[in-house]
Amino acid sequence: MTSPTPARTWRGIHAELTRRINDGVWRPGELVPNEAELAEEFGCARATVNRAMRELAETGRVDRKRKAGTRVALHPSARVVLDIPVIRREVEARGASWHYSLILREEGPAPLALTARLGLAQDAPMLHLACLHYADAQPFLHEDRWINIAAVPGLLDTDFSVENANEWLIRNAPYTGGDIAFSALAAGAELAALLEAAEGAALFTLDRTTWNGEVPITSVRLSYAPGYRMHTRI
Amino acid sequence: MTSPTPARTWRGIHAELTRRINDGVWRPGELVPNEAELAEEFGCARATVNRAMRELAETGRVDRKRKAGTRVALHPSARVVLDIPVIRREVEARGASWHYSLILREEGPAPLALTARLGLAQDAPMLHLACLHYADAQPFLHEDRWINIAAVPGLLDTDFSVENANEWLIRNAPYTGGDIAFSALAAGAELAALLEAAEGAALFTLDRTTWNGEVPITSVRLSYAPGYRMHTRI
DNA sequence: AAGTGGTCTAGACCACTGC
DNA sequence: CAGTGGTCTAGACCACTTT
């Protein structure tokens, strides 16, 4: 086993620390030497060790606390970075041509379940959009979206039968945070018809709500056509 | 809108750069000032700007290339960090008690589709395990796993009716990389029965294959009971 | 060849937190 | 209070990429 990564670099040190954890030199829960000691051992600056350790902490391999030191994580959970691209680009990346069709546009109050979750008044004006994204001639995903009209200037002036909401919002409604949930749902009759799938088919579904500070921006459910896989590397 | 983050820190600079992108001060595709110039503007060291910029690059807000400089990303894709915990802990985090039952243990060759994907000989000795994880008395997920016997010392000596494979492998078979795919699958008759779900129910499914260098370690499919949601914050 | 980001250094001070 | 990680600095050299 040669080490293709040069030592003394933060990558080299990261690799060596990873090895020590994997090989059980440092056992789960165990306290590892502090940065100053490791810097001396590796003959490098403390900042270099810090950089390597920070990566290990970000991926959950170690837990770090001031004064308490650094410990090998007891329950290393796999941490995965998912890239959720703009839908058009995802379709095009598959070599298909993308197009898009607006199915529904409606102004009015949202379901109570939604306004409650967003912390909005029940009668807050919302824009409800539903659209289909196609890969070539095939339905790719169904987008069901509610947008907080008060939070997005210019929203009502935009023609979403031409402009697609997914990309328009990225450009025009920045957000500071939000949450995402993935699940599997059985296609109801209407959704099945739209996606040209069998009723009850298993659909990969993504629910995303975004906020700008305290202000809710939009809540969307993306239902992918059957067979969709979201893929990434570790 | 006060700025609770002090300027001059990398977080403060990160926030200010983010603001400039969000507010359109720097448009998508546009070249932003180089690190030295920004360091001068903010009155800080270049390393501090570098740290802020690195975060922006990691989350896909900007694209950086040596010599070419830093540009605001044209197609910002949402980058999401998913935490996939050890199953037992995930169940316990819901306040349920976890238990586990081995359904199948079989040594022998794997299906051709699998060996081919792993780059193993068709007759490579593999261990096939199937198990169910429970939250209290309710089936939580079904685990269908193949393990490369040659790559995992001590594998055949382990009693997986007592020890659960998920955690045993974490401790005993480190990996350097792999891939993960999420999808939605309809429950077949057997799986539906095991999960006490209706046949055809939509199941959230995770396929994960891990490698240690060039050596395939294990390939597993986790099928969660209906209703499961994988959740994270942005 | 030259410009840009990537990294490293040696030192310093600060912030948090367990004791 | 004292030990540890978190961050910042000023400077340097390097690696990559475009010109």
Tell me if the domain spanning A10-72 has CATH number 3.40.30.10. Answer: no
Percent helix, strand, coil in chain A (nearest 5)? 30, 35, 35
pLDDT for the residue numbered A6: 53
pLDDT (tens digit, 9 = 90+) per residue, A60-97? 999 999 999 999 998 877 888 888 888 998 999 899 99
3-class DSSP string for B66-98: CCCEEEECCCCCEEEEEEECCHHHHHHHCCCCE
- CATH: 3.40.1410.10, 3.40.190.150, 1.20.120.1810, 3.30.460.10. Which one for B87-224? 3.40.1410.10
> In the structure encoding, which two tokens stand for residue B214, read together?
């060039």
Left (φ > 0), alpha (ψ -120 to 50) or beta: where does A67 sit? left
Q: Do A234 and B178 count as a contact with CB atoms less than 8 A apart?
A: yes
> CA nearest A192: which of B105, B192, B186, B220?
B186
pLDDT (tens digit, 9 = 90+) per residue, A195-223? 999 999 999 999 999 998 889 999 999 99
The three-state secondary structure class of A15 is helix
pLDDT for the residue numbered B6: 54
User: 149-208 in A: which are within 8 Å (CB) of B?
Assistant: 170-171, 174-175, 177-186, 200-205, 208
What is the distance in angstroms measured between the alpha-carbon CA of A11 and the sugar C1' of C15?
27
> CA nearest B182: which of A136, A61, A91, A203?
A203
The Cα–Cα gap between B21 and B173 comes to 44
* Interval A178-199 mean pLDDT: 95
Structural domain spans, chain A? 10-72, 87-224
- List, in sequence order, every residue forming a beta bridge with B215; answer none if it has no partner: B212
* Interval A170-195 mean pLDDT: 92
Orientation angle between helical segments A35-42 and A10-22, nearest 10 degrees: 110
Mean pLDDT (chain B) is 92
Q: Do B76 and A229 count as a contact with CB atoms less than 8 A apart?
A: no
Counting every residue, how long is chain A?
234
- Any idea which residue has 């903010």 for tokens? B42
Q: Which nucleotide is nearest to B64 (CA to C1')?
A: C5
A219 CB-side CA count, 13 A:
16
pLDDT (tens digit, 9 = 90+) per residue, A90-127? 999 899 999 999 999 999 999 999 999 999 999 999 99
Could you say which DSSP state residue A214 is in? T
> CA nearest A100: which of A168, A193, A162?
A162
Q: What residue ranges of chain B have pLDDT lower than 50?
A: 1-4
pLDDT for the residue numbered B1: 42
Give B205's contacts in chain A (Cβ within 8 Å): 184
> CA nearest A166: which of A139, A137, A143, A191?
A143
**Contacting residues 11-50/A vs strand D (CB within 7 A):** 34-36, 46-47, 50
pLDDT (tens digit, 9 = 90+) per residue, A25-63? 999 999 999 999 999 999 999 999 999 999 999 999 999
Q: Do B230 and A183 count as a contact with CB atoms less than 8 A apart?
A: yes
Closest residue to D7 by CA to C1' distance?
Answer: B9
Left (φ > 0), alpha (ψ -120 to 50) or beta: where does A82 sit? beta
Q: What is the end-to-end Cα distance of chain A in Å, rounded?
A: 22
Question: Confidence class of residue A3 from pLDDT cuts 50, 70 and 90?
Answer: very low
User: 12-31 in B: which are within 8 Å (CB) of A?
Assistant: 22-23, 28
B233 touching chain A per CB within 8 A: yes
Smallest CA–CA distance from A172 into chain B, residue: B22
> CA nearest A104: which of A148, A147, A54, A160?
A160
